[in-house]
Amino acid sequence: MYGTLRGALAGRKITFDRESYKATVEGRIVGTGKTIRIRSIHVHYDLAVPPDAVEATERALAVHVQGCPAHQSVKDAIRITWDATLRAGDRTVTVREESHATSA
């Protein structure tokens, strides 16, 4: 998903700080002993974009999972969610999957 989002941003010609662009991934594993499985994965993106690119970045975030082969391969077996913190000038915007952005 990280690479797919990066490609979606580049495809939209959204400049972003490639050095500080990062994703933190958390997973939930269930089961006991040798029989375990991944129940869920949550990805949190953190990136800086120009103030005039927030709306386009929100659109890229909204559709990036549809273009991600890994997500599409496991989505029926593993719950995958995401959110993002966008730093745009002096503004911080939080975007969550299937929700509206909130500014701080």
Q: What is the pLDDT along the chain (104 residues), one digit of tens a residue?
A: 999 999 999 999 999 888 889 999 999 999 988 889 999 999 999 999 999 999 999 999 999 999 999 999 999 999 999 999 999 999 999 999 875 455 55
Torsion of CA 55, 59, 60, 64, to 10 degrees: 160
Question: pTM score, two decimals?
Answer: 0.86
Cα distances (angstroms) measured from residue 44 to each of 33, 34, 47, 85, 96: 29, 29, 10, 8, 9
> In this structure, how many other beta carbons lie within 10 angstroms of the beta carbon of residue 9?
22
Instruction: Write down the domain spans for the chain.
Output: 2-103
Q: Which fold has domain 2-103?
A: GMP Synthetase; Chain A, domain 3 (3.30.300)
Which stretches of the chain are assigned E, i.e. beta strand? 22-32, 35-48, 79-88, 91-96, 102-103
